């Protein structure tokens, strides 16, 4: 049976190994072909419907989904 000090020491060592593996993986994934940058704040404009189409007025920010 191990005492408290030895358990803490083993735990720290294990955590350090895990951290090293995580860092290795992070570096390996970063070395892959980079994905295009994505901006979560990007917005896109939704054009209004064509004039002949008569749709009920919706709240701002809603989009009419065509029924299948």
Q: What is the mean pLDDT of residues 33-50?
A: 74
The answer to whether the CB of 3 falls within 8 A of the CB of 11 is no
Average model confidence (pLDDT) across the chain:
79
pLDDT at 28: 84
Going by pLDDT thresholds of 50, 70 and 90, the confidence category of residue 30 is: confident
Is the Cα torsion angle 11, 16, 19, 20 positive or negative in sign?
Answer: negative
pLDDT at 45: 79
Q: Nearest Cα to 64, choosing from 44, 49, 42?
A: 49
Is the Cα torsion angle 19, 21, 24, 30 positive or negative in sign?
Answer: negative
pLDDT at 15: 96
- How many helices (H) and strands (E) the chain has is answered by 1, 0
């Amino acid at each position: 049976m191990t005492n408290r000090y030895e358990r803490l020491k083993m735990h720290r060592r294990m955590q350090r190994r895990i951290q090293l593996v995580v860092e290795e993986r992070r570096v390996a994934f970063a070395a892959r072909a980079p994905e295009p940058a994505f901006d979560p704040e990007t917005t896109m404009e939704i054009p209004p419907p064509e004039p002949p189409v008569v749709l009920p007025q919706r709240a701002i920010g809603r989009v009419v989904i065509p029924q299948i």
